[in-house]
Chain A
Amino acid sequence: MSSREKILARIATNKPSLTVLPNVPIFEGDNSIERFKTVLESIGGRAIEIATKADCQAAIDTYYSDLKNVSSNIVNASIEINPETPKDILEQVDLAVIQGEIGVAENGTIWVPESNMLNRALPFITQHLVLVLDKNNIVANMHQAYQRLEDVGSYGVFIAGPSKTADIEQALVIGAHGARSMMVLIY
């Protein structure tokens, strides 16, 4: 018998009798931009409201004028990134500006599917990350987020703020391996 069969047989013998799978309610909650911003800031991120999506460029020019290698399909890019881009180019990215799909007010997280990432590694290898978010796509909690998210695609990530660690004496340090800063432009 293969290990697969052995494991499955042991489970069949040892499992308890079938119990009921509960229904998960959607639960109510605050889905305001204010809530989203407050929570995002509490986890080290930053949110800026802009009038329209077209104002992203101005925001990037204002906040990130010092960064040289920008990759984006929303604002002017100085470095082109695609799924085939080699690692040594990816490593040079200072700023990535990409679209986020769903924001969650309760925890400040944003769903980013692979199709928005330009390259799967980009949101993590970039030194700084900007996600662009439609304010109508902010939901209250994770139940509502998964309800909207019918399909997770091949790969997708809920990103909540910059990369962080507290592995040294519980001291919070922003910028562990991934993005050193994370900003959300809400239009």
Chain B
Amino acid sequence: MKVGLFIPCYVDQFYPNVGVATLQLLEKLGVEVVFPMKQTCCGQPMANGGCEQDSKGVYEHFVDTFAEFDYIVTPSGSCTYHIKKHYDIIEQTPAVQKVRKSVYELVDFIENVLKIEEIPVDFPHKVGLHLSCHGQRGLRQANASEITGVRDGQISKLLRKLKGIELTELDRNDECCGFGGMFCVTEEAVSARMGNDRIADHLRNGTKVLTGGDVSCLMHLEGIVKRQKAPIKVMHIAEILNGNQP
């Protein structure tokens, strides 16, 4: 099994620790991981901004970088969703089709490819899970409250099995954080308000460690936590599963 690690551009630049945790976690789980040095980005930022035509070069570069792998694993539901859903505007060569099929969000890969249901980590903290919309509704990694009242999903399944952990029961289990790519600056007022409200929900219900599957949401939420000096530590799910402590 040849596994390529994709560390999204903003994770590479601003959250290298998430990349390190992802790599270490996969290695601990017995996966041989290759990190192709010429990788950059999946192209989502431009595409969501209405410039997907400009992204074509980035898409092709991504495919070129990762076509050789059986699986492409990334600590981002959002980038995974973008590659699967929106790489339909470039020619669907065998390489493009293969890449779109082989890309996996980290937790999805752990549970559904590696078939690992439990990770032996102590995490005696009250943890609030932020469901990223692209992971949840895009990749269907978690139930959506529009469809069912049962709150369940891939990340919470793994989290629940950590030793000592307590999961926060939120008032609104799957409301968007308001990051939304360019939305976070073009619609700054609404974006910030949405983020504020998510953090308020976590504070109200006792979250001490806030986690999730997408660094983009977490970057936005952490920005608010820090500005408000709120007593919450933000960690990506890869860091928790890797055994890092807050």
Query: Per the CB under 8 Å rule, do A and B touch in the complex?
Result: no
> Hey, which bits of chain A sit against chain B, CB under 8 A?
none
**Which residue numbers of B lie inside 8 Å of A, CB to CB?**
none
